[in-house]
Amino acid sequence: MDTNIILQLENLVKYYGSGENLVRAVDHTSLEVERGRFTAIVGRSGSGKSTLLHLIGGLDRPDEGRVLIDGTDIFALKDERLAQFRRKKIGFVFQDYNLIASLNVWENLVLPLGLDNRRVDVAEVNAILQKIGLEDKKNAMPNVLSGGQKQRTAIARALVSKPAIILADEPTGNLDSQTEMEVMSLLKNCVQEFGQTLVMITHDETIAQMADRIIEIEDGKVV
């Protein structure tokens, strides 16, 4: 095992439907991502990039192939262990934030830790909040936050559990161009500072440029 490869996709296949309506969302894709790098996966909508990200994150099971994160074949794990592994190793940032509306910012951040009975390092969470510029919004509920603030909360939540890899699915899709730059530079910066690996899906070439490596997906294949 090459320790420097954090993410390895082996011949991944995911089809939807059958016959005439068969959709090859991911079609025999193999890929390696190096630790600590920022990789952008670009492609038109419907090119299968979101399905690919869901497979990488263990949110969906492939028809064929393997996903190795840090050398662990994630689909060899039982559902419960997979969920635990996911919470520990992977941070997610979604386009529509996926914050829990009934919890305030702080509670949203520490919730993933609570699920695994992990201790909350208050100083550390505060440091992340400070870094991401939300230290004065600790007790705010998500519905009073702006889009950028919501996404920053989501980034902070992804960072709190110190995952090795962060998967972002169109993180700036709902944001205006200035907020987009803000969110991107924060994300890029934090990931760099904490030595994490960022895999991001986008169709925006402005965002993709910031990556160390750009992978283009077309019809479920890497081009």
Partner 1 sequence: MDGKSDKKLTKYFAAYFAFAVLFSVFLFLMESHHQAGVLQRELLLLAGHPELEAEIIGLWETYDNRELAALMQEQGLDAAVDTIAEKYGYRMWFGADGTFWIFWCAGMFIGAAVTAVWGGLAWRRQHKKDCFEEQLGQVCGCLLQFQRGEFGEIPTAQAGSASEEWMRLCERLRELGIYFVQLKKRLHDEEESMKALITDISHQLKTPLASLRISYELMTGGELTTQERQEFQIQGEKELQKLEALLDELVNLSRLETHMITIKPAAASLKETIAEAVGQVYMKARSKEIAIGVEMEGDIVVCHDVKWTVEAFANVLENAVKYSGTHTAVTLRVTLLAKNVLIEVEDEGMGIAKEELAKIYQRFYRGERARELVKEGAGVGLYLTRMIMERQGGTISAKRRAQRGTVFKMTLPR
Nearer to partner 1, 27 or 70 (CB): 70
Among 7, 99, 184, 201, binds partner 1 (CB under 8 A): 184
The pair of three-digit structure tokens given for residue 222, joined into one six-digit string: 């890497």
CA dist., res. 69 & res. 76, Å (int): 12
Q: Does 192 bind partner 1 (CB under 8 A)?
A: yes
Q: Segment near partner 1 (CB under 8 A), from 48-56, 111-119, 167-175, 202-210?
A: 202-210
Pairing mode, strands 213-218 and 221-222: antiparallel
CB of 115 to partner 1, least distance (A): 16
Q: Does 77 bind partner 1 (CB under 8 A)?
A: no
The answer to whether 210 and 42 are in contact (CB under 8 A) is: no
> Which amino acid appears at position 51 of this protein?
T
Nearer to partner 1, 51 or 202 (CB): 202
CB of 19 to partner 1, least distance (A): 36
> Which amino acid appears at position 217 of this protein?
I
CA dist., res. 199 & res. 40, Å (int): 6
Among 93, 207, 215, 217, binds partner 1 (CB under 8 A): 207
Task: Please report, for residues 20, 38, 73, 76, the alpha-carbon distance to residue 82 in angstroms, rounded to integers and kept in the order given.
Answer: 34, 24, 10, 9
Nearer to partner 1, 62 or 148 (CB): 148
Beta-bridged to residue 5, according to DSSP, are 34
Task: Please report, for residues 28, 101, 204, 209, the alpha-carbon distance to residue 44 in angstroms, rounded to integers and kept in the order given.
Answer: 18, 31, 9, 16
Interface positions, 79-108, toward partner 1 (CB under 8 A): none
Question: Quick one: which H or E segment has residue 217?
Answer: strand 213-218
Length of the chain: 223
Interface positions, 137-166, toward partner 1 (CB under 8 A): 148-149, 152
Interface positions, 2-21, toward partner 1 (CB under 8 A): 2-4
Distance of CA 23 to the CA centre of its chain: 24
Count of chain residues binding partner 1 (CB under 8 A): 30
Q: Does 186 bind partner 1 (CB under 8 A)?
A: yes
Q: What is the DSSP letter of 136?
A: G
Among 24, 28, 35, 66, binds partner 1 (CB under 8 A): 35
Interface positions, 103-142, toward partner 1 (CB under 8 A): 131-133
| Interacting residues with partner 1 (CB under 8 A) | 1-4, 35-36, 131-133, 148-149, 152, 177-179, 181-182, 184-186, 188-189, 192, 205-210, 214
